Amino acid sequence: MKAWGLFAALALLPAWGRGQAQEDEVAIQRRLGDLHLGDSLEAVRRVYSPVQKWPSFIEPRGRVTRMRVERAYVKSFPNNVQTLWLGFKRGGLVEIQIIYNLEFSRRKSAEALAGDLALIYGEPQRGGGKSSWTDGKTVLRVFNAELPVLKGRTEAVELRTAIQIFEHGLSRRTD
């Protein structure tokens, strides 16, 4: 009888260990900068008061309305940020992407930023030049954004450090 109790206890140990690991998992912060996933467009406009209309388009896949916000488009803008990409679906913010300016990107590469975040969230999944973490609800990505530039008469691409959070399950391309 005692042997069966011991076997039953041993059989439960792996299940308990898996449950414990899930409880210890760090939740991805759903706030990036001054914005929070789920914010309404009105709430975002209170944070970044527009001085002109923000360019936008509806992405056919996923039906997400994407808005580009730059310093010239708002009354105040975060330091070191070149561009904010915001994604809205059914009236709520489902994606926030920050592309940092050249100065910040020279000081903090995407790899260095991913290293800093790994101290909080653990080792990321890596692939395609991106580092990503997920908690099943939110996805966090760090990568180099490619920005088209003109060097003389030649079109080129410059890399900028970028960070992005979005709702898990949201199909997203990275620029």
The number of CA neighbours under 13 Å toward the Cβ of 151 is 6
Domains of the chain: total: 1
Q: Is residue 28 part of a domain?
A: yes
Residue 44 resides in a domain: yes
- The helix (run of H) or strand (run of E) holding residue 7 is helix 2-24
Q: Give 20-74 pLDDT, tens digit per residue.
A: 334 457 899 999 989 999 999 999 999 999 999 999 999 988 899 999 999 999 9
Task: Confirm whether 174 is domain-assigned.
Answer: no
Measure the CA–CA gap between 27 and 68, rounded to whole angstroms: 27
The token pair that represents 21 in the structure block: 């690991």
- Average the pLDDT over each of 10-19, 91-100, 103-112 and give the range with the smallest value: 10-19
Tokens of 81: 């940020």
Residue 13 has pLDDT above 50, yes or no: no
Average pLDDT, the chain: 86
Task: Determine, yes or no, domain membership for 12.
Answer: no
Amino acid at 111: E
CA angle 164, 148, 77 (to 5 degrees): 50
120 in a domain, yes or no? yes
Domain that holds residue 154: 23-169
- Residue 97 inside a domain? The answer is yes
| 6 located within any domain | no
